[in-house]
Amino acid sequence: MPVPTTPIGRVLVTGGASGLGAAVVAAVAEAGGTPVVLDLAVDAVPEGVDAVTVNVTDTAATEQAVRDAAERHGGLDAVVTAAGIDKPAPIGGISSGDWERIVAVNLLGTAAVVRAALPALEATHGRVVTISSSLALRGVGDGTAYSASKFGVRGFSQALAAETGGRIGVTNVIPAGMRTNFFADRTEQYKPGPDAQLIEPEYVANAILFALAQPAGCEIRELSIMPATEPSWP
């Protein structure tokens, strides 16, 4: 008996102009869905994709952008919170502004998007896919802000699933390092070496679509995606 799947539909993607977010946008479009992007660099979004410039650290602007997107498209079927930043440094060597901005983008931005999208998602029994990290499983040195934010995203996702069970679906995706420009602005000591085990963002995007396509009543609560030799697992 074939397993039923849910159409992908209208998917709001934060950070959809690059990296994992861009891979999700491409996968949604290929699957016949309608991606909607919130990002700071919308010039990089493919032509024809609805994209809005917004800084997810601005909660009021982010919430309004989400509500406006839902209104333009007659609702939302899913949200994927792929926007994320990092700036590795010892805790004594990172400014308070940088530390707080990492948490604001990764955790508070995720929460702002979900809060604003919740009425639209409840109307469609839609899904939220949050993106944490392998560093939400085990923190590492020089990554206090990033680890704290991603541990927070994982906890937020678990609490959200408990609170909204039966009304929306919630999946937390836990990827290891991906082959994107996420590491481009780092100093050499914090860049992956030539032998680093990285995964393609398209692989993670495919897993996200798998979660989005699950039939009503079936929940994938967490997905860990990493190379076979990933040292941060378990």
CA distance 216 to 165: 11
Catalytic residue among 65, 94, 146, 205: 146
Instruction: Please give the structure tokens belonging to residue 91.
Output: 């805790």
Report the Cα–Cα distance between both ends of the chain, in Å, rounded. Answer: 35
| Per-residue CA distances from 60 to 15, 32, 64, 113 (Å) | 17, 31, 6, 10
Neighbouring residues of 201: CB distance < 8 A, sequence distance ≥ 6: 19, 20, 22, 23, 178, 179, 180
Decide if 146 is catalytic: yes
CA distance 172 to 117: 17
- Our measurement of the distance from residue 108's CA atom to the centroid of its chain's CA atoms, rounded to an integer in Å, reads 12
CB pairs under 8 A, 24+ apart, for 227-234?
227/176, 227/197, 227/198, 227/199, 229/197, 230/134, 230/176, 230/197, 232/134, 232/135, 232/137, 232/138, 232/140, 232/176, 233/134, 233/137, 233/176, 234/137
Q: Which residues are tagged catalytic?
A: 146
